[in-house]
Amino acid sequence: MRGTRRPVGRSVSGSGFFWPISSSRSMPGPYIIRRLWAKCLHLTEVYHFHDMIDMLVECGYEKGTTLFGYGYDFRQSNRIDKALDDLRVKLESAYKASGGKKVNIISHSMGGLLLRCFISLYNDVFAKYVNKWICIACPFQGAPGCINDSLLTGLQFVYGFESFFFVSRWTMHQLLIECPSIYEMLPNPDFNWKQQPVIQVWRKPSEDNEAVELDVYDSTQCISLFEEALRDNELTYNGKSIALPFNFSIFKWAADTRQILDNAQLPSSVGFYNIYGTSFDTPYDVCYGSETSPITDLSEICHTMVSDTSSLYNLCILMLFQSLIVEISEFLMVGSQPQYTYVDGDGTVPAESAKADGFAAVARVAVKSAHRELLKDKRVFQLLKQWLGVNENSQHSMSSSKVMDVSIEPIPTQLSTRHLL
């Protein structure tokens, strides 16, 4: 993908491996947030919101009438003007469509950060149109292990056989390095973590030096590591090399976003509910290299997860031997994978971060489920129906119930049901 860097770091644009996604304005119902990429096959890993939408419909919500979808570009900053302005219009239109009834919002993951920015910048508007906000798996204080590693080695959504039909980890890395939203999910350096998340690097100062050192970078020091490790990062597009170093303009923008997030005050008229995942090993600290296989040059970190399994030839071979995919992948990666220290969470967001919303919550509930699986978890559905006051197969008039907007993420998104779910 080739991106256009904006000096202020607020927005990125590009063309490449992303299929076009129609604007939610042309799709009155929640289709826009039903799956991660609109033209993708029905893979469980990317077909995010299908089950929740079906559950809400069974409870009496009507697509395009009391159940709406709000889709937005997950690459952009959570406080970019277009996203917030469009959300404001969506809230107002749902409010009017329901005859002046306030909206209930359900958000997932990064969608919660977009809403928090909206609250901070448009507090009066949020108070006017929103009744309840149900937040699921939001990285309020960041996602240390996943985001730190994403900036250095990339991000992988799908594993196993299906991964060969999806965006590769390294291609995703070259995209994320220019995404303001990723920088905005770096661990909050001002948050009082039980233990400060760190990045560790086993280093050999030089080829001639036999000594091995363990360098440790906390959230206030890791910027120097990102700068050095990404100094020679580049991608090739149409035969041309494009430099993609650590983007300081975007980082500065993200630091200002963190202040906006920290300053958010929930209106007293809005009920806030927080659901977060637990019981899954969640990356926290990450270590590159080892005492027996140290890193000489920090730029080596960015290539620790690159393997030669993406060619058409290799793909054909792997299709014939599906049972060997995991073993082959592990063989190709042996000795090069980063090592993680894990904490309790949903596998992506630490529980410590997800429950640190700082609001006067009506309820905060831990659910034993993984990050994306929370969107189809039966316990989560029970909580939603309880808090929304609805039941499956309910035939009651939606005019007497509430509208909702679902801020579910296509990697972030917002959905709306009788208020905007």
Active-site positions read: 109, 346, 371
d(CA 136, CA 376): 11
Beta strands in 162-270 (DSSP E): 198-203, 213-218, 234-237, 240-243
Q: Which two tokens stand for residue 67?
A: 């159940």
Which one, of 41, 108, 107, lies nearest residue 371 by Cα?
Answer: 108
3-state secondary structure 77-131: CCCCHHHHHHHHHHHHHHHHHCCCCCEEEEEECCHHHHHHHHHHHCHHHHHHHEE
Q: How far is CA 166 from CA 101, 153, 250, 292, 310, in A?
A: 41, 17, 27, 34, 10
d(CA 36, CA 48): 6
d(CA 236, CA 219): 31
Instruction: Count CA atoms closer than 13 A to 9's CA, side-chain side.
Output: 22
**Dihedral sign from CA coordinates of 348, 198, 139, 34:** negative
**Residue tagged 């291609």 (tokens):** 171
Q: Which two tokens stand for residue 56?
A: 């809400």
**Cβ contacts of 237-245, under 8 Å, gap ≥ 24:** 237/1, 237/2, 242/2, 244/174, 244/177, 244/178
- 324 contacts 108 by C-beta, under 8 angstroms: no
